Structure 1
Amino acid sequence: MDQKKLFDTLLSACTKGHVAAALDAFEAVNKERADWAPIEGKENNRGPIDVASDPGRALVERVTNAIDAILEAEHDLHGGIPDCRSPREAATTWIGIPERGLYEMSTAERQRVAGRVTITLSPGDGQAARLVDIRDCGVGLTPEEMPQTILSLNESNKIRKHYLSGTYGQGGSSTFAISAYTFIASRRASERRVGFTVVKYLNLPPEEYKTGHYVYLTLEGAVPSIDLPANQFTAGTLVRHFGYDLTGYDQPVGPKSVYGLLNQVLFDPVIPIWLDNQVRQYRRVIKGSRNALNGAVDEGDESRRGPSLDHNVPMFYVSLGDFGMVGFEYWILERPTKEKKRPSAAFVNPSRPIVLTLNGQNHAELAGSIVRTEAQLLYLSQRLVAHVDCNRLAPESKRALFASSREEARRGLVRQMIHDELVRILKSADELTRLNNEARDQGTRERDETAIQEMRREVARLLRIQGITIDQVEGGQARGDRRTPDQPSSPPGPHIRPQPIEVQEPPSYIRILWDEEEPISFYPGQRRYIRIETDANSTYHNPDRPGSSRINIIAQGAVMLKGSTPLRGGRLRAVLDVPEAIMVGANGILRVELSRPGLTALSDQREIVVSEKPPVRPGREQLSLPPFLPHPVAPNEERWTDLGWPEDVATVASSAEMENGTLVIYYSTAYPRYSNQLAKYEQRSAALAESFTKRYEVWLATHSLLYYRDQQEAGAQHQAGEVDEDEVAEVRERKERCRMATLAALFAAREVGLEAVAPSDAEGQDL
């Protein structure tokens, strides 16, 4: 078998067996000439290739290389003029992609550009061994270039090319670890020769080597090549993976599909690409979840009008000082239905709906607990998707934040600053508070106030037995539960929708929403979002280009302007910051001006004063009961999904959320230790069942208050948001609450007068 025959066979092969047979035949004919060379020329090359843990994300890295190949071809075509400093700028300047994103293109325009990169998914040897092609019509490679580029590791080919996404020279190689064989063929436009090879894992003698390594086929020490006319293999690169394990992505669409994966990880790609799914018999454009959320619709999309949104705020940027700038935008999807319990799952991982991107690619995701607990938007947690654009961070900040694997963000100061800024943004948004309260009120059950007060007194009695003195029983803010000054404060949460502002042309007013007689107080190092209202339309303010905006926000003296949100419905927010070095007693001015063509300008202003930072509360003092309310939740209720509870009813008993000053204790009506005992009482009498539930709620409330106090005391010793936000922490708390629920059921049953469980049932229980 000669090189041409091997190339043709590999090009038509569909299974691992076809490749193995072809290689055996080729090596048999070319015994003295054919050999296998280690990738990068290193026997120890497993480390950087095996680094990826997710086959889906590894595949996306290969797609990123294909997009880079398109941008490299455009660079050569335009002679590198102008000098583009980012992939987004290159795509806009050389290809004509709209600066704001693919959603501003028509369906036909996206399809035309997408034809330059295609992913083809074929049956192969089954779900765990698919055939996956990635074909680009980009710059291509010569046979001589391939060992130092696509067959290399950690080379510096892209490190000075700001117009490309790749940096480290190893991302795409991670697909080698997930494939049985990888066939690579490439051709430069100016070349007749097509270079090609096959990559595989080669086991080495265990008596000499600890592990094997990855190798590629060579002929007389070089990459094989053949001459082909352009119509048989156009310029660009084909990477074909045989035996690619896509077990976790076996659905046609949605989060567990290749289609969903690509849109989620390529959250905001610089160019669209095609997915040709021959397993599921469809062909669709991949445009990224951000563009879908912004209304881009392509053939095969579920809705021809884009997703239904209850609210959204377009991209705006906030300064982090020397760390650079960060962009934020968010969307609130319509309320869940029985068919779509988690609306955000169509666009992101619903457990981690906050996406951090660099060059449009999802580099990290933050946990939904930020939305649910820290921003106190529990009822929006399955509907909110937030995007954090990190392109404008300073280079050192990017390096500190992102790992080369692009799978997680490093914990540290930069991540903490982004985290805190996001919490401030979400908590200062009146519309989010209103939507959250509206969703909460729709599911709230009326409770007998007398029964609630009786239960509070019983909880107070139990706490006193433990040596905890109670200030009050009727509710109100506890002295020991004051918010630490570093934590972003929650805005007043209107239950009624803020009054609509009727837009006027020309506008007639602009005002700062702060008492005219009171200065705006800051302490050194504090950042606040100050609300502004006007009857001007949204075109009057461009937060990304303040120089072209007719609304001018001026900060003088002790306060600095760090950004602003877009003008939506007559409302915007100014981001103000007082540096740590500013002395107490300093003052300043916040002024807003609205220019009107041919008319006098409108304005408003407030004084800024710098005050002492409020003292952090002591670690322990007399505990006051905050208002609290037990709330039963059944598995078929929408609230179960809002709380992020798992489907397995045996793994979740309760959780507690502070909502507008009330600690709401949600408990599962299906938790076996509770539901089984309740069923026994219901068979005897309704009164016994009711008594059991009330006592069960008392014990859960007591535990939740103690647990809440411990969390507050721990939080006083750390900066805001410096908590373990991973799913691991949630699972740990869930297990603790299950243990307490088991005890609560036991104590409640004994108080009713019956033994909760037979001794045999209690054996083995982890209490």
Structure 2
Amino acid sequence: MTNSALKQLCISLAQAESEKKVVSILEKAGYWDDPSSWRDYGNNPNNFSTIGNQQSSADTALVEKIVNSVDAVLMRECLGRGIKADGKDAPGSIEIAQRDFFGIYDGKLSSIGSSQRADLAQKILVVATGKKGDPCYSIIDHGEGQSPSRMPETLLSLNKSNKLKIPFVQGKFNMGGTGALQFCSKNHNMQLIISRRDPRIARNEKDDDRELWGFTVVRREDPDTKSGMRSSTFRYLAPSGKIMSFSAASLSLLPGEYPDPYGQTWEYGTLIKLYEYQLKGFRTTIKLDPYYRLSLLLPGIALPVTLFERREGYSAHTQHAVLSGLSVRLDEDKRDNLEPGFPSSAEITALGQKMDVRIYAFRKGQRENYSKNEGVIFSVNGQAHGFLPSQFFDRKSVGMSYLSDSILIMIDCSNFEGRAREDLFMNSRDRLREGSLKADIERQLEDLIKNHQGLRDLRERRRREEVENRLQDQKPLAEMLENIIKKSPSLASLFVTGTRLKNPFNFTDVAAQDDFEGKRYPTYFKLTKRHTEKNPKQCPQNRKFRVQFETDAENDYFNRDKDPGDFSLTINGSIVEDYSLNLWNGTATLTAQLPKGSSVGSVLEVEAGISDISKVDPLGEAFFIRVAPPVKGGGGEPGERKDPASNQTGKDHKSPSRLALPNIVEIRHDDWERQGFDERTALQVKDDGQGGYDFFVNMDNVHLKSEIKVNTKIDSKILEARFKFGLVLIGIAILEHFEHQSDADSGEVEEGTIYKQIGTFTRATAPILLPMISSLGDLELD
């Protein structure tokens, strides 16, 4: 083919908006049905075992493409300056590259203004074209680009170590972003790749085709039992084994004014087009749901990206948006969406790995604009690598059921050692790996959240808003429930003997706390209680110690986007890494592990301090810890076993406590939206954060209303009581079963999901509950 024909073929493929059109173009060119024109992806005919084992969802796979473009732009800046990417003069981290190349400080895009972010975002584009229902997404960058001869070893490679020795890029697993392939067009999983080396870099290289454009199409071929292939194979277009190439100064493939998808010229970099990409659940304009989702998955993206909507049929003032990550979104929107005082900063350490933590508490109903079911986001270099669901906050060990839809926690794991990162994150970078590190992180988080004073105060306020005004005089209710229980030994066994229901809101009026206004650069950091050498703080040998400091630092002092503060801790002059620290409204709470080998009776000198760019010397002070004898209980050494518990009284074990009588709250139609109810909701249970439960019963349930309407022989109050207490007893029985299973460590139910299961089960049984009670009560044997 002539140069002109090759160029036209490339442009035709780039402007095709369906798999059917691509197949037609390649059939006409004589390539589609010619096996010799196709080459195995990664030079491996068994590549499906690798490509098919990538990201489990289309959104996280799309993120990998964007991250690869970020890497390409950083590489261009490095190579364009004549710096060898893996040499001693190259940036030692992504954060340093951001600073040196683009003036972005502390690795945070919020350190530069919105207009500068918008300009920078022109280097990476994501463009939606084609049909509304089956859109194509093109990821286009002004990065280093690749010459045609280099593409098989870079853009089309698998399991090569291209980036492993380059410290300032993210994509080191070298899957080439292949996870997206399975979400491309339904029949052939097709994508297009076009690339050209940046001329500024190419002039210093020796490739014969260094100034040419290269392009190829990737497709999936079905298993062929005749040839012995038992699994699919991904192959790319390469007539005579070579990437197709041509010469051109530029290509008109960048988006023009809406709705023109191809009105501007492009001179170098890489374009990857995902045909009819199956981004299910995100079918709105790219500025809305896809933008929100990508912000979540790239909470601290290293470089901004412009998203362009170029499908026809959308009406808006502008059809593009700048993607700067969730951190920037939250920072810009916090006044209207976050509770006062948030975000709050903290630091935790698990198995020697230090993490920065940001805690966001949203105003009621506002978190859904940023996150759906993700409660905890783990990120590395600005990219989400795994999550814990919102049900994590429902755990008894966390006690934040009333805030489970209002908390979002971001954990930065960028400082992890290489092996620890491998132990926690799957190579697909979209889920966590089970193991001791994940378990220890969860324990540290449980302790941090459960004891966070700001969250505790907010939980009580929310609970009071939901429950206080709706709690009736509980004495007759308690007596009625106790009478039911007394008639059944099996029911009585669920409850603590002699427990009576009490009002959970026996409040005394107090003055509201003044709003805390911290300083950007604090002026003091001192202990709330002194622990001198003569009067040291006691700490059992097998426990951690906890102390508090008073300070005037603002809540996000330790991990704000610009000029964060640093905390340092030493014991007897040695740096301590195993600690957690959280800061809230002038109180910094430090929890730390004693050094290994600390002997009982020894006195340890601890020095703690904070520093930032405004200080020549750190703020802080020293205190002393005396190592006390170890105590029995939760702080025992790993591997210790106790004999099984008996039925006799004693101090060797704590017998599982039975459920106290619950707080029952009646919910009517007017409160459905606020409570998240609908006409078929029956029962909702929440952990009250104090060892008990609140039961919310839908007294306007459609099945209850229907039964009252048709069953006129029974007083409506009796039917309501049967419905209410029947549901509550079902809920109690499920909770007791769950607690029993938890004690047995069976793993039958993931903690935190039990409340959802109670809601689902009672929703299913509500239609038959009253008819069953009535019918079975009259049942007689012949």
The reply on whether 1:223 has 2:243 as its aligned counterpart is yes
How far did 1:99 drift? 1.1
Matches within 5 A, 1:289-368: 289-295=326-332, 307-322=337-352, 324-336=353-365, 343-349=366-372, 351-368=373-390
How far did 1:166 drift? 0.8
Amino acid at match of 1:400: D
How far did 1:588 drift? 5.0
Query: Structure 1 378/493 Cα, relative in aligned 2: closer, same or farther at 3 Å?
Result: farther
Matched-pair contact (CA < 8 Å) for 2:380–2:412 = yes
**SS at 1:284's partner residue?**
strand
2:680 to 634, 649, 670: 649
Query: Structure 1 294/690 Cα, relative in aligned 2: closer, same or farther at 3 Å?
Result: same
* Aligned counterpart, 1:458: 483
Structure 1 distance, partners of 2:140, 2:688, is 51
Matches within 5 A, 1:511-590: 511-512=527-528, 522-527=539-544, 530-534=547-551, 536-538=552-554, 562-563=578-579, 565=581, 567-578=583-594, 582=598, 588=604
**SS at 2:340's partner residue?**
strand
* Aligned counterpart, 1:763: none
* Aligned counterpart, 1:489: none
Matched-pair contact (CA < 8 Å) for 1:555–1:561 = no
How far did 1:138 drift? 0.4
2:324 to 287, 303, 307: 287
How far did 1:626 drift? 2.5
* Aligned counterpart, 2:9: 6
Amino acid at match of 1:364: G
Matched-pair contact (CA < 8 Å) for 2:471–2:665 = no
Amino acid at match of 2:382: G
Matches within 5 A, 1:341-420: 343-349=366-372, 351-373=373-395, 374-420=397-443
Matched-pair contact (CA < 8 Å) for 1:140–1:237 = yes
Matched-pair contact (CA < 8 Å) for 1:317–1:544 = no
**SS at 2:144's partner residue?**
coil
How far did 1:725 drift? 4.9
The reply on whether 1:473 has 2:479 as its aligned counterpart is no
Query: Structure 1 493/585 Cα, relative in aligned 2: closer, same or farther at 3 Å?
Result: farther
Matches within 5 A, 1:21-32: 21-27=24-30
Matched-pair contact (CA < 8 Å) for 2:680–2:703 = no
Amino acid at match of 2:422: R
How far did 1:409 drift? 0.4
Structure 2 distance, partners of 1:126, 1:653, is 39
The reply on whether 1:195 has 2:219 as its aligned counterpart is no
The reply on whether 1:182 has 2:209 as its aligned counterpart is no
Query: Structure 1 584/432 Cα, relative in aligned 2: closer, same or farther at 3 Å?
Result: same
Structure 1 distance, partners of 2:117, 2:732, is 54
Matched-pair contact (CA < 8 Å) for 1:530–1:574 = yes
Matched-pair contact (CA < 8 Å) for 2:343–2:360 = yes
Structure 2 distance, partners of 1:152, 1:402, is 22
Amino acid at match of 1:50: G
How far did 1:676 drift? 3.6
Matched-pair contact (CA < 8 Å) for 1:74–1:95 = no
Structure 2 distance, partners of 1:700, 1:580, is 51
Query: What's the CA shift string for 1:503-560, capped at 9, x where partnerless?
Result: 79996894426999998665555446543334x3449975899x99799766569996
Structure 2 distance, partners of 1:47, 1:709, is 44
Structure 2 distance, partners of 1:519, 1:612, is 18
How far did 1:670 drift? 5.5
Amino acid at match of 2:472: R
How far did 1:392 drift? 1.3
* Aligned counterpart, 1:127: 133
Query: What's the CA shift string for 1:365-398, capped at 9, x where partnerless?
Result: 1011222334222222222111011111222111
Matched-pair contact (CA < 8 Å) for 2:238–2:244 = yes
Matches within 5 A, 1:117-196: 117-122=124-129, 124-128=130-134, 130-180=135-185, 181-189=190-198, 190=202, 191-196=210-215
How far did 1:744 drift? 5.8
Structure 1 distance, partners of 2:108, 2:408, is 17
How far did 1:183 drift? 1.7
Amino acid at match of 1:345: E
How far did 1:669 drift? 3.6
Structure 1 distance, partners of 2:684, 2:487, is 19
How far did 1:54 drift? 1.5
How far did 1:201 drift? 1.9
Query: What's the CA shift string for 1:563-605, capped at 9, x where partnerless?
Result: 4546553221112224676566666566768999999999685
**SS at 2:241's partner residue?**
coil
* Aligned counterpart, 2:278: 245
Query: What's the CA shift string for 1:229-254, capped at 9, x where partnerless?
Result: 25764121111222222332112378
Structure 2 distance, partners of 1:82, 1:558, is 32
**SS at 1:405's partner residue?**
coil
Query: Structure 1 537/326 Cα, relative in aligned 2: closer, same or farther at 3 Å?
Result: closer
More divergent stretch after superposition (285-294 vs 698-707): 698-707
2:99 to 92, 104, 123: 92
Query: Structure 1 475/618 Cα, relative in aligned 2: closer, same or farther at 3 Å?
Result: farther
2:717 to 682, 687, 690: 690
Structure 1 distance, partners of 2:705, 2:596, is 54
Query: Structure 1 743/463 Cα, relative in aligned 2: closer, same or farther at 3 Å?
Result: farther
Matched-pair contact (CA < 8 Å) for 2:685–2:693 = no
* Aligned counterpart, 1:340: none
Amino acid at match of 2:300: D
**SS at 2:367's partner residue?**
helix
Structure 1 distance, partners of 2:235, 2:327, is 38
Query: What's the CA shift string for 1:664-718, capped at 9, x where partnerless?
Result: 123334555545434546x567xx3333333444444444444444444444455
* Aligned counterpart, 1:448: 473
**SS at 1:312's partner residue?**
coil
Amino acid at match of 1:251: T
Query: Structure 1 466/586 Cα, relative in aligned 2: closer, same or farther at 3 Å?
Result: farther
Matched-pair contact (CA < 8 Å) for 1:452–1:629 = no
More divergent stretch after superposition (653-662 vs 214-223): 653-662
Query: Structure 1 577/699 Cα, relative in aligned 2: closer, same or farther at 3 Å?
Result: farther
Structure 1 distance, partners of 2:418, 2:522, is 43
Structure 2 distance, partners of 1:164, 1:506, is 35
Aligned residues: 710
Amino acid at match of 1:220: S
1:104 to 90, 111, 119: 111
Amino acid at match of 1:454: E
Query: Structure 1 287/551 Cα, relative in aligned 2: closer, same or farther at 3 Å?
Result: closer
Matches within 5 A, 1:430-449: 430-444=453-467, 445-449=470-474
Matched-pair contact (CA < 8 Å) for 1:543–1:565 = no
How far did 1:661 drift? 3.5
Query: Structure 1 195/730 Cα, relative in aligned 2: closer, same or farther at 3 Å?
Result: farther
Query: Structure 1 382/539 Cα, relative in aligned 2: closer, same or farther at 3 Å?
Result: closer
The reply on whether 1:278 has 2:297 as its aligned counterpart is no
**SS at 1:419's partner residue?**
helix
Matched-pair contact (CA < 8 Å) for 1:584–1:612 = no
More divergent stretch after superposition (433-442 vs 84-93): 84-93
Matched-pair contact (CA < 8 Å) for 1:121–1:132 = yes
Matches within 5 A, 1:198-209: 198-203=217-222, 205-208=224-227, 209=229
* Aligned counterpart, 1:210: 230
Structure 1 distance, partners of 2:623, 2:768, is 58
| Unpaired runs of at least 5, structure 1 | 297-302, 337-342, 478-491, 756-767
Structure 2 distance, partners of 1:149, 1:187, is 13
Q: What TM-score does the superposition give when structure 1 sets the normalisation length?
A: 0.80
Measured on the aligned residues, the alpha-carbon RMSD in Å equals 4.4
Structure 1 distance, partners of 2:556, 2:191, is 54
